[in-house]
Structure 1
Amino acid sequence: MEKAKKQLKLGVFLAGTGHHVASWRHPQAQPDRSLDFAYFQQLAQTAERGKLDMLFLADSLSIAPDSHPNVLTRFEPFTLLAALAVVTSKIGLAATATTTYSEPFHIARQFASLDHLSGGRAGWNVVTCSVESTALNFSQEAHPEHSLRYKRAEEFVEVVKGLWDSWEEDAFVRDKASGVYFDPHKWHELHHKGEFFSVRGPLDTARSPQGQPVIIQAGSSQTGQHLAARTAEVVFTVQNNLSGAQAFYKSIKDKAAMYGRSPDEISIMPGIFPIIGETEAEAKEKFEELQDCILPSVGLGILSFFLGGFDLSPYPLDGPLPDLELLATNAEQTRFQMIKDMAKQENMTIRQLYKSFASSRGHHIFVGTPVQLADIMEEWAAQGGADGFNLMPPLLPEGLDLFVEQVVPILQERGSFRTEYTGSTLRDHLGLPKPVNRYAKQMTRG
C-alpha cells in the first residue's frame, strides 16, 4: 500500500503591498493598502477560500526612515485580527507580541480575548524584539542583551500559560436559583514570583475555546531554538536552502525530545517567498521587475540593519562584503550569520547581498511555475526540511491570489493538502491537542 503523503501546513504572512521591499513601487501596487481594512478582509477571505491554516501578522514597536514601507504605518495586530475574526470563520489568526516590552497579564488577556472572539482561532508568535531602538520608546536607555531577553521570555511564556489556566473549563455555574455564579474551587490564583515577574492572577477572562491559544516562536539562534523546543507548537524560521532547513528541523525536533516533548508537537514552517508565473521565464521576468524597483540606498540600509548597523556606504557595491568576523551584534543573530555565510560561501557582492535580503530578508526565494512550487514544498516536507510553510507573497494581492488559485489545487489533487477544513479551531487545523488545565490535571491525579 502506498504511504500517505505528508499533509502540509500553510500560513500566509500578510504585509501591506507585499513582502518585497519595493513592492509599493510596482505598477500594480496601491501604496496605501497597509491601512485599508477592506483590503485585509479581501486577503483574509482569499486565504480562507484556499483552506490555509492561518493568517500571520508581524509587529514592531520602533521604526526608522529605512524601515520597510509596510512597517512605517500599519494596523496594531490585535485590533486588525479582532476585526478579521468577524469576516472569517475558520482560518487561524496569529500575531506577534514581544516579551521584552510587554507584561504577561496584558498578553494573556489579549490572546485569550482574541481566542474567544474568533471561536478558537488565536495564535501568539512569541518574540524577544531584535530592534535596539525599541528601548527608547519604553522609557529605557538600552536594549536588553540577547541572552537576557530570552531568559525573560522563558519566564514570560510560563506566566502567560499559567494565567490561561486561571479558570477550569466548567468553573462558571451561573445558577440563578442558588445565586452561585462560579465554583470557587475552579478559580486559581497563580501567585508567580520569579526573576522578572511577580503576578498574582487570576486572569479576568474565562478559559478560551482552545484551552490555550497556539504558541508560535520565530527565533532561530541557539537560544531561540531552546525556547522553541521548550514552549512552541509552531516554529517560523528563515531557511534559504534544503540542507540548512533539514539541519534546523532536526535540531528543533531533537531539542524537543530533550525537554520531554514529542517532536510531533512542533510544526516547523519556514518562510517562502514565491514568485509564480505560467512559465519559468515569466516568473523570472516578474522577479526582475520587482528587483529593479529597489533603490541602492534602501537595499544598503536593510543589509546594514541585519549587520547590526554596520555602515556599508564606503564600500563598492560590486565588491565583496568587508571582513566582519570580529563584528558582534545585539540585534538578530540568525540573519547576521546568514549574511556572512552567503558572502563567504557564494562569493556574493554587496549589491547581490542587498538585492537578496532587501527582497526576502533571507527567506527562500522561489521563482517558477505552480507545479514547480508544489514540487519544492512537497520535497522539503518529504526530506525532513519542513512540516509546512509560511507564505510571504512578494506582491499582494497577486501573490496570494495565484497561490490559492493555481498551487493549492495541485497540492489538493496530490493529496498533500486539505480540500476542506475538518475542524473549527487553529489547533484542529494544525493537529494539536487541546491542553488540559493544570489544576484539573492535579485533581485527576489526586
Structure 2
Amino acid sequence: MPLSASAPIRPLHLAVSIDRPGVRDAGPYVRAAQLAERGRLDFVTLGDTLGPPRRGESRLDALAVLARVAPATERIGLVPTVTTTRTEPLHLSTALSTLDWVSGGRAGWTVEVSGTEAAARHFGRRAAAPADLWREAAAVADAAAGLWDGCAPRSPQGRPVTVVDATRLLPRAAAARHADVAYVRTGPAPAPGAVRAARDDLHARLRALGRDPGRIVVLASLPVALYAAADAVALAELAGSWWADGVIDGFHFRPRDPDRDLALLVDGTVPVLQHRGLLRSFYPGGTLREHLCLPRPAHPYAAERRPA
C-alpha cells in the first residue's frame, strides 16, 4: 500500500558510495558528489585506497580525493574510509580536521582495520587476531578524539562524524563506543528482520555503555542496481516502508554502476520519497552533524573556560 504524504516524525537519512575502482582522475568523483548533493543526500562515502592495487588497477587516497571534492560542493557530507592500522592518531586528526575545515564542517570518517594479519604487519602492527585489530582501532579513535578536542581552533562541527560498519560483532562493539553513524550491510535480497535485530543489538550495547541510542544514526547499507525508472520507484517503496516500520534510520546505497545507478537514484528514487513527505527537499543546515540531526559535541574544557 502506498505510504501517506504526511510529514515524517523523524528524518530519513540517505547516503551513497561513490567508489570507482581503477579511476585515477578526481573529476568523476566530483561529478558524483555534485549529483548526490542535488538529491539532498546526507553524505557520500569513498573507500580506503591505501592498500596495494590489483594488477592493472590504480588507486587514489580517499582523504585526498574528498579534499578535492570539498570546494566543488557546498552542503553534502564527505566521508572517506580510514584504515586505523595504517594511520597514526596525529596524522588522522590533522588530515580529517583539514578536510572538515576546507569543507566548512562536512567531514566524517569510516573506521576500518586491515583485512588480514599480514596486511596489518606490513604496516608495523603486531596484532594477531581481528579482536586485537579492533581494539587498536578503538584506541586510535580515542586518541584522535582527544586530539580533536584539544585543537584550537576547533573543528567547525566540534568533531568530524565517526562512522563504523557494525555488521559484524567485533566492529559493532567499537561502534557502540565511538560511532555517530553505523552501517548494517545487506545482500541483494535484504531481510528487514536481520537488519532490525542488528540495530536492536547495537542499541542495547549503547545503553550498556551509558550512551543514548537516539544519538546514533543506523543505516542499512544496500547494494543497488537500477536499470529503469520502475527500479528507482521500487527502491523508494522499500526505503519508505523500512523507515516507516522503524527498521532503520536510513540507507547507505552501494551502486553497482556508479553513473547509471546514482542518476536513477537522484532523479527517480529521491523525488518519490520527497513527494511522499519522507525526505527533505533542502539542507536545513551547513554541517554534516546538522544533516544527521546529531548534536555538536561539547568541548571537554568548556566549563574551565567560562568566566567566573
What is the TM-score normalised by the length of structure 2? 0.90
Say yes or no: does 1:385 pair with 2:215: no
Contact 1:5–1:416 at 8 Å: present in 2 too? no
- Deviation, 1:101, is 2.0
Aligned pairs for 1:255-270 within 5 A: 255-270=205-220
Match of 1:427 in 2: 289
Q: Deviations over 1:339-380 (max 9, x none)?
A: xxxxxxxxxxxxxxxxxxxxxxxxxxxxx6222211111122
Partner residue of 1:38 out of 27, 37, 44: 27
Contact 1:50–1:408 at 8 Å: present in 2 too? yes
Indicate how the Cα distance of structure 1 residues 54 and 129 shifts in structure 2: closer, same or farther if over 3 A, else same. Answer: same
- Deviation, 1:120, is 0.3
- Deviation, 1:3, is 7.1
Distance in 1 separating the partners of 2:58 and 2:117: 19
Match of 1:222 in 2: 169
Aligned pairs for 1:144-223 within 5 A: 144-167=128-151, 206-223=153-170
Indicate how the Cα distance of structure 1 residues 98 and 223 shifts in structure 2: closer, same or farther if over 3 A, else same. Answer: same
Contact 1:62–1:137 at 8 Å: present in 2 too? no
Amino acid at match of 1:116: W
Aligned pairs for 1:431-446 within 5 A: 431-442=293-304
Partner residue of 1:370 out of 214, 229, 232: 232
Distance in 1 separating the partners of 2:303 and 2:260: 48
Structure with greater Cα Rg: 1
Amino acid at match of 1:59: D
Amino acid at match of 2:182: V
Match of 1:10 in 2: 14
Say yes or no: does 1:127 pair with 2:77: no
Say yes or no: does 1:412 pair with 2:278: no
Aligned pairs for 1:324-363 within 5 A: none
Aligned pairs for 1:79-94 within 5 A: 79-94=64-79
Distance in 1 separating the partners of 2:191 and 2:52: 30
Contact 2:49–2:59 at 8 Å: present in 1 too? no
Amino acid at match of 1:265: R
Contact 2:50–2:61 at 8 Å: present in 1 too? no
Match of 2:93 in 1: 108
Match of 2:3 in 1: none
Match of 1:202 in 2: none
Structure 2 unaligned spans of 5+: 1-5
Distance in 2 separating the partners of 1:438 and 1:147: 29
SS in 2 for 1:397: helix
Partner residue of 1:403 out of 217, 240, 265: 265
Distance in 1 separating the partners of 2:87 and 2:8: 43
What is the TM-score normalised by the length of structure 1? 0.63
Contact 1:230–1:256 at 8 Å: present in 2 too? yes
Match of 1:138 in 2: 123
Contact 2:176–2:205 at 8 Å: present in 1 too? yes
Distance in 2 separating the partners of 1:212 and 1:249: 24
- Deviation, 1:241, is 1.3
Contact 1:133–1:143 at 8 Å: present in 2 too? no
Q: Deviations over 1:26-67 (max 9, x none)?
A: xxxxxx6x112221111111011111110101114334648x
Indicate how the Cα distance of structure 1 residues 75 and 62 shifts in structure 2: closer, same or farther if over 3 A, else same. Answer: closer
Contact 2:53–2:59 at 8 Å: present in 1 too? no
Contact 1:6–1:381 at 8 Å: present in 2 too? no
Q: Deviations over 1:217-273 (max 9, x none)?
A: 114322221211111000122123111101001111121111111111111112112
Match of 2:58 in 1: 73
Q: Deviations over 1:278-328 (max 9, x none)?
A: 47xxxxxxxxxxxxxxxxxxxxxxxxxxxxxxxxxxxxxxxxxxxxxxxxx
Structure 1 unaligned spans of 5+: 18-31, 169-205, 280-367
Amino acid at match of 2:146: G
- Deviation, 1:443, is 5.2
Distance in 2 separating the partners of 1:247 and 1:236: 13
Contact 1:122–1:426 at 8 Å: present in 2 too? yes
Indicate how the Cα distance of structure 1 residues 108 and 216 shifts in structure 2: closer, same or farther if over 3 A, else same. Answer: same
Count the aligned residue pairs: 301
- Deviation, 1:14, is 1.0
Distance in 2 separating the partners of 1:41 and 1:65: 24
Distance in 2 separating the partners of 1:252 and 1:113: 31
Contact 1:93–1:121 at 8 Å: present in 2 too? yes
- Deviation, 1:84, is 0.4
Contact 2:127–2:133 at 8 Å: present in 1 too? no
Q: Which aligned segments of 4 or more residues in structure 1 are displaced greater than 4 angstroms?
A: 442-446
- Deviation, 1:5, is 4.8
Distance in 1 separating the partners of 2:214 and 2:150: 27
Distance in 1 separating the partners of 2:304 and 2:240: 42
